Chains A and B, each alone.
Chain A
Amino acid sequence: MSLPEQEVFRKLARNIETVMKGQAGALRKLLAAFASGGHVLLEDYPGTGKTTLAKALARSIGATFKRVQFTPDLLPSDILGMSVFDQRDHAFHFHPGPIFTNILLADEINRASPRTQSALLEAMAEGQVSIEGQSYRLEELFFVIATQNPVEFRGTYPLPEAQMDRFALQFSLGYVAPEEEVAILAAQVERHPIDALAPCVSRDDVLAMRRRAASVRMSDELKRYVVDLVGATRAAPGVQLGASPRASLALMKAAQALALLDGREFVTPEDVQELAVPVVAHRMVVDPQARFAGVTTAALVEEIVKKVPVPA
């Protein structure tokens, strides 16, 4: 079975894979989030290809792409835009910021102050921004891909829980296998392959794919399974803050998109299980004692997935 929308997926994946080698798992998650209309937070060590992945996705789509490098002195107006007084006609003119784009790469998002981080809140949740009392609609295709670096703590501001909850998925890339790394070296002997990357799908293709993903069928039993998984995070030991219903929603949508990616018209339990950790873990807060004991939210979610009986 091959759907035209799945073909969009395939093309995207192939295109990105020419640049990102050995990251098929991460690519699946990124595309699932992209197709479900959620935003993505990439957390990994420097040099693992976070920015490259984001750029590769942006360049593969015939859409506008902006990049903001987050720094401690970045102001909300640097992202959203501001009105500037024009001396010729003695009036204020609105200069839109980089947020007015299709794909926004927020590089090293945790380096900006919480105030600036929060400027993204409304944009990510509602697809609009309010500047000086006026609301501006963003593009219909609006996708934020943020990166952050888990090693550095000096001069960083951890994202507030509300901001974390706005990201549909958080995942890391990890180091690739040695053979893949050799291939990466070989590919970049002359120039970076990303420079040769050309758009392979149009903006309309992407929007059609998103609509198709939203119509992937999901049985009530699996919806219940999603709710059970997310509900279990609220009762897990050592958890200060469990995952919200927004997490259930994001998990459902991402699972639908993943099903479409695999060429299915319905969601299976496998889709839900595959996405449980990237969708749910980053929304939880572990209490200090458990954190000190080395408990991570990802491990907690994995444990929950192993504990909650799966429909079969």
Chain B
Amino acid sequence: MSTPPFLLGAAVLFWGWQTGLLLFGLAVAVLLEGSRVVTWRLELEPRDFNRVADLCALLFLGGAVYLFATTGTARGVPGGPRAITLLFQWLPLLLVPLVGCQVYSTSRRIPLTAFFWALRRQAARTGAAPGTVDVTHIYVALCVLAASAANVRTLAFYAGLCALAGWALWPARSRRFSPLAWAPLLLVAAVLGWAGHLGLHRLQAALEQTVFEYVFNLVRRDTDPFRASTALGHLGRLKLSERIVLRVEPGPGVRVPLLLREASYDVYSTPAWFASGAGFTPVQPEADGETWKFEPGERVDRAVRVAAYLHRGRGVLTLPAGAFQVDRLAVVGMGRNRLGAVKVEEGLGLVTYTARFGAGAPLDGPPGESDLRLPARDAPVIRRVAAELELGTRAPEDAVRAVTDYFRRGFRYTTWRPERTPAGTPLEEFFLETRKGHCEYFATGTVLLLRAAGVPARYAVGFAVEEWSRLEQRYVVRGRHAHAWAVAWVGGAWREVDTTPAVWVDEDSTASVLGPLGDLWAWGGFLFARWRWSEGGDGVGQYVGWLLIPLVLLLAWRLWARRRAGPGARAAAAAPAATRRPGEDSEFYRIERRLAEGGLARRPSEPVTAWIARIREEALAPLVHLHYRYRFDPAGLDAREREALRAGAETWLAGRAAAAPAEER
């Protein structure tokens, strides 16, 4: 092993400590450092290393499949990002066979063919000996990397990292300078590194903010939480999609039909609703990274499970009224605004989450002045109708009931609007002439009438959960189930007020013969997406890990069955090959060693005269001449000259020894 003593073990223990796999770390550290104690070695050939490397690759792949499969199923959410993090944390464990083989092998190095198929083919073709690599240093670096994946954000990680780096660098330090100079320099480097990392962090935050704002300006999302165009005033039939956009599994005690909201808006300007002052504030996840709370505290309440597609991993969540917590949602960023819209970022293509909801509406901010404002263009007709219903004198509860009754009595649902010369605004037409319209008319009318009655109200859009799919055994929500309704501030809480006639769902259904086929296709697509985003089937991945065990055992047995050799085996075999060099016992080598200890080592390709010129030891020239004659002149030295070489070297060494303490003083 070329790493300094116990560096490998320390790195593995550090990794175990940081990732919480201390027991594994301990076992691996004992295994790897044990090679310093035991005397036997395995005689491994490149072929064996190839097998072990293949096994490691297999372990890695198996681990990846296992993690991707189980991180999701165990808790019912896609676990992609988390699986990658875990895989990183496991990396040192997955590579143990390879590193173990290196430290227990006679060659102490791993042939490069173990890592590259192309090199294996080349080696098989040319028969050339492959290049080798010592992976222990790389493994130490990997351990640190894997430890960083645990992301324990304490100073301990950095301190450990610096200690490991210092330990690794200690044997490689320049001998020319005292360790007393080396240690403070290392400390300075560590402090600079810490400062640099803080700076980088700030820079990244600033950069992300800038980029986010820039991109946000460029891209419009599917549901814009700031603006909802309505189809008020559209002519002809509204085209409504049969595409399934959500799949919903209501928990116990949840009544269907259920409204799932995407966003609310507070300012109406024909024909669109706007959200004023609705900037997003980030929501921080709980410790597990998948639970997002909008309101502190624990509550046991109703829950609904929703599977939704996110376009490019971003979108607005559909949530029931009163949602206070979202569980098992694997996204990286979440933000909410004061009107109850929740947007997510950097999720997968398909997210499945459980929304917990109850009384109250922690997502919606308290009513403000904008929740009572009537748009100037529509104010006359609204006031007129409000006066007819005598809304001004009623209590909020009463007003809501009156408005609901009003729409139920004289209005009909339609998505068809015949062409005619518009008499006024779409709402005037709706109230005074046609008395027919779709949900957006009803919702807008309701909101504005309630505001005229002095009840703060907002316009909400989302989906109505109505359709039970016998095929999928769950509720499905199609594009045509998109709905709009009002939320009103009654009795100190927000309440949903849906005045659209209940027939709207059936009205909208454009049952086609091919409908069931399309649904089947969509279901297949959903199952595929769910598998792809690693929500997992029912535990196939769990068994992959078990499959690997016999493989590992088989390989361990095969390695053990290899001939083992004592520590000197390779050296003994190589010894006869090395020719005896004349003049090997020259005393000059002692001088060379002494200078090397002082950090003035000769480079392997540097001739001695060039070397002593470089290190300003020209006084050695006569000795070098003698040494050279002893080494390279086949005639050699006579006894007197040999003695002169010995004596000269002794004198020089003695002089150096005397000078050394003087220097230290």
Contact = CB atoms under 8 A, between A and B. Distances in A.
Contacts of B634: 217-220, 266
Interface string A195-231: 0000000000000000000000111111000000000
* Chain B residues touching A, range: 10 to 19
A217 B633 contact: yes
Given A266-B633, A308-B605, A312-B602, 16 more contacts: A219-B631, A219-B632, A221-B632, A265-B633, A266-B632, A266-B635, A267-B632, A268-B628, A269-B607, A273-B607, A305-B605, A307-B605, A309-B605, A310-B605, A312-B608, A312-B611
Contacts of A122: none
CB-CB nearest 5 A-B residue pairs: A266-B633, A309-B604, A269-B607, A219-B632, A270-B607
Contacts of B610: 270
B629 interface: yes
A135 B634 CA distance: 40
A305 B632 CA distance: 19
7 contacts: A218-B634, A219-B633, A268-B607, A268-B632, A269-B632, A311-B581, A311-B632
Nearest to A309: B604
A312 to B, nearest CB: 5
Residue of B582, B604, B607, B635 contacting most chain A CB atoms (<10 Å): B607
B116 to A, nearest CB: 18
Nearest to B606: A310
Contact of B609 (A217, A220, A270, A309): A270
A310 B633 contact: no
A306 interface: yes
Given A219-B582, A221-B581, A221-B582, A310 B632 contact: no
B334 to A, nearest CB: 53
Interface in B584-623: 592, 602, 604-611
A42 B335 CA distance: 78
Contacts of A306: 605
Contacts of B602: 312
Nearest to B611: A312
Contacts of A312: 592, 602, 607-608, 611, 631
Nearest to B633: A266
B635 A217 contact: yes
Contacts of B605: 305-310
Contacts of B633: 217, 219, 265-266
Residue of B582, B629, B634 contacting most chain A CB atoms (<10 Å): B634
Interface in B635-650: 635
Nearest to A270: B607
Given A268-B628, A270-B609, A270-B610, A310 B635 contact: no
Contacts of A269: 607-608, 632
Interface in B132-168: none
A152 B610 CA distance: 37
A308 B604 CA distance: 8
A310 B632 CA distance: 12
Interface residues of A, number: 21
Residue of A218, A219, A267 contacting most chain B CB atoms (<10 Å): A219
Contacts of B581: 221, 311
B585 to A, nearest CB: 14
Contacts of A268: 607, 609, 628, 632
Contacts of A267: 632
Given A221-B582, A265-B633, A266-B635, A310 B604 contact: yes
Nearest to B635: A217
Interface string A28-67: 0000000000000000000000000000000000000000
Residue of B592, B628, B635 contacting most chain A CB atoms (<10 Å): B628
Contacts of A220: 634
Nearest to A225: B632
A268 B633 CA distance: 8
A310 B607 CA distance: 6
Interface string A281-312: 00000000000000000000000011111111
Contacts of B629: 266
A270 B608 CA distance: 8
A311 B604 contact: no
B635 A265 contact: yes
Interface string A253-291: 000000000000111111001000000000000000000
A210 B592 CA distance: 36
A72 to B, nearest CB: 44
A222 B609 CA distance: 16
A309 B633 CA distance: 19
B347 to A, nearest CB: 48
Contacts of B609: 268, 270
A268 B609 CA distance: 10
A265 B625 CA distance: 12
A273 B581 CA distance: 20
A267 B582 CA distance: 14
A217 B628 CA distance: 12
Nearest to A266: B633
A18 B664 CA distance: 53
A167 to B, nearest CB: 26
Nearest to A216: B633
B102 to A, nearest CB: 25
Nearest to B589: A312
Contacts of A310: 604-607
Nearest to A269: B607
A222 B604 contact: no
B457 to A, nearest CB: 75
Interface string B185-201: 00000000000000000
A213 to B, nearest CB: 16
A308 B592 CA distance: 19
Nearest to B628: A268
B28 to A, nearest CB: 37
A267 B633 CA distance: 7
Contacts of B592: 312
A39 to B, nearest CB: 27
Nearest to B582: A219
Interface string B554-565: 000000000000
Nearest to B627: A312
B409 to A, nearest CB: 88
A308 B581 CA distance: 17
A222 to B, nearest CB: 6
A235 to B, nearest CB: 10
Contacts of A265: 633, 635
B600 to A, nearest CB: 14
Nearest to B603: A306
Interface in B293-316: none
B662 to A, nearest CB: 29
A221 B581 CA distance: 7
A312 B611 CA distance: 10
A17 B604 CA distance: 36
A266 B634 CA distance: 8
Interface in B394-421: none
B631 A311 contact: yes
A188 B629 CA distance: 45
Nearest to A224: B579
Contacts of A273: 607
A310 B592 CA distance: 14
A307 B631 CA distance: 21
A54 B194 CA distance: 66
A273 B610 CA distance: 11
A222 B632 contact: yes
A83 B321 CA distance: 118
B602 to A, nearest CB: 7
Contacts of B635: 217, 265-266
Interface in B541-560: none
Contacts of A219: 582, 631-634
Contacts of B631: 219, 221, 311-312
A268 B583 CA distance: 14
A309 B527 CA distance: 64
Residue of A218, A220, A309, A312 contacting most chain B CB atoms (<10 Å): A312
